[in-house]
Amino acid sequence: MSIKISWYVPGRILQLSAEAVSAGETMADISQDLAQWLDEGTPPVHLLVQSRLEEAPTRSAGQASRSMDFLRHPHLGWVMYIGRHSPMQAVLVSLVTRITRLRYREVDTLAAALKYLYEQDATLGAAAPAAGVAPE
Domain borders along the chain are 3-122
pLDDT above 60: residue 132:
no
Question: Per residue in 85-101, is it b (16+ CB within 10 Å) or e — as a string?
Answer: beeebeebbeebbeebe
State the pLDDT at residue 21. Answer: 54
DSSP state of 130: P
- For domain 3-122, say whether CATH 3.30.750 is its number: yes
Q: What is the mean pLDDT of residues 19-30?
A: 65
State the pLDDT at residue 136. Answer: 46
pLDDT above 80: residue 57:
no
What is the CA angle 27-131-70, rounded to 5?
20
**Beta-carbon contacts of residue 111 (< 8 Å; ≥ 6 apart):** 135, 136
pLDDT above 70: residue 61:
no
Mean model confidence pLDDT for the chain = 80
